[in-house]
């Protein structure tokens, strides 16, 4: 089951996001220690933005009671209508279709709020994620920037139409 976060998911959202950062430190722009230090009020503000409105959204994937994946959608700062962020599936659930379900949820929500293009950044050596995104219809744009959480690595931009 995949659903958008609600304002009651603050603790769950924080726990899953921290689990993702601990599991895949090179996959994201932020770091586990940065997010761990983030005050509770900021998590509350984030979850409130992610749960309501048309600018941001965060989706959680569940198997029975357990949360096994996360994906977010935020405003893009380089000209796409939205950006796919925070994409993570628990190792136990990779290769099962959970990731595709999360992307479908994000794309469908973004389309519903009027977006026509969605972009993302993926670390250059993350071949599994790149392959996954290509299969989901994203194409490399040619834009490259240093990974904010580890500027020794590059991340590349991908985009697709909705």
Ligand X SMILES: CC(C)(COP(=O)(O)OP(=O)(O)OC[C@H]1O[C@@H](n2cnc3c(N)ncnc32)[C@H](O)[C@@H]1OP(=O)(O)O)[C@@H](O)C(=O)NCCC(=O)NCCS
Where on the chain is the footprint of ligand X (CB under 6 A)? 24, 27, 87-89, 94-95, 99-100, 122, 126-129, 131-132, 135
Query: Taking the complex as a whole, how short is the minimal distance between the CB of residue 132 and ligand X, in angstroms?
Result: 4
Which has the closest alpha carbon to 121: 156, 94, 89, 152? 156
Which residues lie closer than 8 Å to 62 by C-beta, 6 or more apart?
A: 1, 2, 3, 68
Query: Taking the complex as a whole, how short is the minimal distance between the CB of residue 41 and ligand X, in angstroms?
Result: 26
Structure tokens at 37: 């230090």
User: Rounded to whole angstroms, how far apart are CA atoms 110 and 64?
Assistant: 26
Nearer to ligand X, 41 or 152 (CB): 152
Nearer to ligand X, 38 or 93 (CB): 93
Nearer to ligand X, 5 or 129 (CB): 129
> Which residues partner with 71 through β-bridges?
59
Query: Taking the complex as a whole, how short is the minimal distance between the CB of residue 18 and ligand X, in angstroms?
Result: 14
């Amino acid at each position: 089951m995949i659903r958008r976060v609600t304002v009651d998911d603050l603790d769950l959202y924080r726990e899953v996001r921290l689990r993702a950062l601990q599991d895949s430190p090179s996959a994201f722009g932020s770091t586990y220690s940065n997010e761990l230090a983030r005050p509770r009020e900021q998590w509350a503000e984030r979850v409130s933005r992610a749960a309501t409105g048309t600018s941001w959204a965060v989706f959680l994937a569940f198997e029975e009671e357990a949360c096994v994946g996360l994906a977010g959608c935020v405003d893009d700062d380089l000209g796409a209508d939205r950006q796919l962020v925070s994409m993570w599936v628990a190792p136990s659930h990779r290769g099962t279709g959970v990731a595709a379900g999360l992307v479908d949820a994000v794309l469908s929500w973004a389309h519903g709020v009027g977006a026509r293009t969605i972009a993302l950044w993926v670390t250059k050596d993350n071949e599994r994620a790149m392959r996954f995104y290509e299969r989901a219809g994203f194409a490399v744009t040619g834009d490259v920037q240093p990974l904010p959480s580890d500027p020794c690595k590059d991340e590349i931009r991908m985009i697709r139409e909705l």
